[in-house]
Amino acid sequence: MNLKIYTTYHKDNLIKDYNLIEDDYHILFGTHKNVNGENLNNCSKYFNEYSTMYYVWKNNLYSEFVGFEHYRRRFNMSKIKNLKNDNVYVRSYNQPAEYTLNNDKIWLLDLQYYENNIKKLYGEKNIYIDFLYNSHDVISDMCFIINFQKFNEMMIFIHTLIDMFDKDINANYNYDNYLKFYNDEYLCRVHIVERLVSMWILCNYDKNNIIQI
């Protein structure tokens, strides 16, 4: 099985605490470490698990299937078999979304920028705007396994929007600039990416091809 799953962690002690190991299928990625190649680890406090996704994508670390998991939320390998290119595999979905445009109580500062930029790219009415307005589905914790070609398509979609937002607020991929914009350490954790991952998957796959494992 041509599969690599990247396990994101952010402190060295988590390796021992959670028995994180590398094997034929798992690669550990410390977002707090200096790494070779293009990366976002300098502001991983903002990007979190997305730092891992970006590193794999930007450095073209190809495997037929690529997966991402969190050090505390991991895939059960016994359930992973016979992967198919037309499917995407997730730990769970159909959970209440963290926020939508119809939920003012948890409206985040970045969401309006993303709404505007999605409309710039895809028009005033498009499947992604419909998702923002109406969907409460979410792929939880950004834990998924996907064909690498599809992963590349997803990352182009996501990072184009992240890059537009970064330019909108003149952040220059600097954590201090993001923190200044949000003015709150909890909000300054790029929660929008989990929404963008969910949006792309649920708008580009039939629900019969979203397999929970």
The pLDDT score that the predictor gives to residue 96 is 65
pLDDT in tens, the chain (213 residues): 799 999 999 999 999 999 999 999 999 999 999 999 999 999 999 999 999 999 999 999 999 999 999 998 888 888 888 899 999 999 877 666 666 666 544 456 788 899 999 999 999 989 998 888 777 777 777 899 999 999 999 999 999 999 999 999 999 999 999 999 988 888 888 778 888 998 999 999 998 999 988
Closest CA to 196 of 170, 163, 172: 163
Residue 106, pLDDT score:
47
pLDDT for 108 equals 67
- pTM, full prediction: 0.93
User: Model confidence over 75-114: pLDDT tens digits?
Assistant: 888 888 889 999 999 987 766 666 666 654 445 678 889 9
Query: DSSP strand E in the chain: where?
Result: 3-9, 26-30, 65-70, 88-90, 144-147, 210-212
User: CB of 64 within 8 A of CB of 2?
Assistant: yes
Structure-token pair, residue 48: 């979190």
Q: Would you state the pLDDT for residue 164?
A: 97
